[in-house]
Amino acid sequence: MIYVTGDTHGDWKRFERDILPCASDWSADDTLIICGDFGFVFYPEQTPAEAEALRRMSELPFAIAFCDGNHENFPRLSRFPETTWREGAAHQLADNVYHLQRGERYVMEGKTVLVMGGGYSIDKAYRREGLSWWPEEMPSPAEYARCRKTAAVLKRKCDLIVSHAAPLHIMQTLRFNPGPESPLSEFLEELRLTMDYGRWYFGHLHIDRAFAGSITGVMADVRNALTGEKVLVKDNV
């Protein structure tokens, strides 16, 4: 099965059995998708805690895949080996841990998944470039073009869309001003209006809420990605 959850921000507790008890029954046939801000590759150099977390993840029986958010160390992510995973390009962090690249499509259990990571850090003023914030957080023109090309190859049809940021329509529904994130929100809105998709999941806003148009914001919830059904809700994460 394909499952989805929200930003993990380098918090190993999100994978522990008491927080993720449903994963006890998962196997190599299962995948958990994280909608950005993975956070286990964040500091300028790998810390012992990061190394230990990735080691422990590699011992989990299921695959972990994440799109990048805004709080990621992009230079470090780019240094991981690139491989083909589920028919798409991905960085491999461990035997079963993959960074899903912007504008790529993946085939999981026969379902097509379109991925578009990235986001804007509203707390950028309190961060330091190269240490806790990186300009690559927002997609480049080439990455937007790559996603448009992938959408065209898919004939504008897919089963799942996974992003970190939310489409403009969702931002407006929540009365959020996207501000400097507007180019990405507007691009995702373009996808919303032109793609024939089954379900869409995003992180970033730290909400667990379903919206019209089969779009769902996820944070602590774990959901069956294909049905949208909650398999785990934790208010204390």
* Position 237 in a domain: no
* Total of domains in the chain: 1
Dihedral (Cα; 28, 31, 34, 39), 10-degree rounding: 10
Residue-averaged pLDDT of the chain: 95
CA atoms of 152 and 137, how far apart (whole Å): 24
pTM for the whole structure: 0.96
Please report, for the domain that includes residue 29, its CATH number: 3.60.21
Domain limits for position 103: 2-232
CB atoms within 10 A of CB 161: 25
The predicted pLDDT at position 102 comes to: 98
CA–CA separation, 61 and 83 (whole Å): 20
pLDDT at 237: 46
- pLDDT band for 234, please (50, 70, 90 cuts): low
Which residues neighbour 193 within 8 Å (Cβ) at sequence distance 6 or greater?
none
